[in-house]
Amino acid sequence: MTSKSSAGGAAGGGAVYGIGFFGAAIYYFSAGDNFWDFVLAIPKAIVWPAILVFEALKSFYG
């Protein structure tokens, strides 16, 4: 008897989020001008998907 697992799809999503995290962190670090921009680069990189969805919905619904 075999059991099928759906963990493969979750692993793919995690990989995409990880690549996006590193890309966002590099972007925010390169765009930083002062100390606090560099400090806030990591939290911004963690929550960038939420910011993206929020801004998209804000522009869609006005």
Domain segments of the chain as ranges: 18-61
* Other CB atoms within 10 A of residue 41 CB: 19
Confidence category of residue 8, pLDDT binned at 50, 70, 90: low
pTM: 0.65
> What distance separates the 2 farthest-apart alpha carbons in the chain?
60
pLDDT of 5 over the 70 cut: no
CA distances, 31 to each of 9, 20, 35, 38, 41 (Å): 33, 16, 12, 9, 9
Confidence category of residue 36, pLDDT binned at 50, 70, 90: very high
